[in-house]
Structure 1
């Protein structure tokens, strides 16, 4: 998105080609903000799951899951939010992309109560936990199983807008115990997709010789079950 213009040049071109300018203009004017309003802030404060999209300097994309107890994604003010990064599999794909390219896209989805989603797009930076904690007095200190973040991703909000409920399934939380802070392959899911034994197309020895293990989700991921349409699930 260019500064001062809502929507990308590509969006505008396709809207013109497919004749959707009027619908798009209404969405931009009615639904898209450049900050978080009180209802968005309240919504973020009760979510347990966020999907984070990043890309490196060349535009190669990655999408990752972050999760935790309600409030794990902390709203600092109407234009700034932060989420924690814990010890994970050591790859740091999302953080590596942010180091090269600060643009991030976040979507939070309420699968349980309101069946609605919120997009938050912005510019991110990486801040070590002690540094951010010294700057933000109310930064959450109560984390699952006593885990402390190693660092935070701080996002300056540029766009915030609704994701409609049309295709969001209703789910119901179910109790699920997680063990965190382990390098035990089995506890992390083992080689669930049989990647270790699958021949690679590349010929780079450094990848061919390294065992592939299932990635460890970096924060608490609650369990959910899908509730059939027509039932409340509450």
Structure 2
């Protein structure tokens, strides 16, 4: 089949989709809370990596990672957390999306743990010093941070990470067989007709 026709096969309604996926158990529905309880805070404090998903007002989506030492995401209170924005490539995709569509989804991981923590909520971009004027002495305070006010918070089952064997070192491909990020970067520049000057 021609790939251009694939959207003609797409499911069009919530009812049609629900008939195919079924109805979730009440325990799955009720596990979502709108707060950061003690156990959730412990999970976040041990996570060195979170993926943040955003979309613009036009629906342009983005998912990008944020990582540092465990505890780099700050719990402000039972409803709000803050993710520091460290200096990077200056694209600012997540932050610009939040300016036009103030919502974000977060996915927290802990190495070796197959369950992940999902948080969805209202988001904003702040000057870090306005929210946390006192910063840990051993850390460089970032200029900007993303604050998320929790609307949904729940633990996600281990199936995906179990199936992927992501934490099983024996299943990892050898380094010489891994894709080259530098080659991909150069190839994509070439597609767009841009040559990086040395």
What interval of TM-score do these two structures reach, taking the shorter chain for normalisation? Answer: 0.7 to 0.9
Unmatched 5+ stretches in structure 2: 1-11, 170-179
**Structure 1 pair 116–91 and aligned structure 2 pair: CA distance change class (3 A):** same
Change (3 A) 1:19 1:54: closer
Structure 1 stretches lacking a partner, 5+ long: 1-9, 174-188, 201-207, 213-234
Measure the CA separation in 2 of the matches of 1:155 and 1:131.
15
State the Cα RMSD in Å.
Answer: 2.8
Match 1:154 to one of 147, 150, 163: 147
TM-score, scaled to structure 2: 0.75
**Which of 155, 160, 171 does residue 167 from structure 1 map onto?**
160
CA distance in 2, matches of 1:79, 1:11: 33
What residue in structure 2 maps to residue 118 of structure 1?
A: 117
The alpha carbon displacement at 1:77 in A equals 1.2
- Moved beyond 4 Å, runs of 4+: 208-212
Counterpart Cα distance in 1 of 2:73 and 2:181? 28
Structure 2 equivalent of residue 142 of structure 1: 138
TM-score by length of 1: 0.65
Alignment correspondent of 1:186? none
The whole-number CA distance in structure 2 between the counterparts of 1:140 and 1:170 is 33
For 2:9, the equivalent position in structure 1 comes to none
Offset at residue 150 of structure 1 (A): 1.4
Cα distance in 2, alignment partners of residues 132 and 60 from structure 1: 29
Please state if 1:128 is matched with 2:127.
yes
> 1:166-198 CA deviation, whole Å, 9 max, x = no partner?
23135389xxxxxxxxxxxxxxx9744123552
Q: 1:78 to 1:14 in 2, by over 3 A?
A: farther
Offset of residue 48 of structure 1: 0.1
Partner residue in 1 for 2:70:
70
Deviation, structure 1 residue 14: 5.4
Following superposition, the deviation at residue 165 of structure 1 comes to 1.1
Aligned to 2:107: 107
Distance (whole Å) between structure 1 residues aligned to residue 77 and residue 21 of structure 2: 37
Q: Which has the higher helix share?
A: 2
Check whether the contact 1:126–1:154 (CA below 8 A) recurs between aligned residues.
yes
- Alpha-carbon distance change, 170 to 209 in structure 1, aligned in 2, over 3 angstroms: closer
Cα pair 1:98 1:124 within 8 Å, conserved? yes
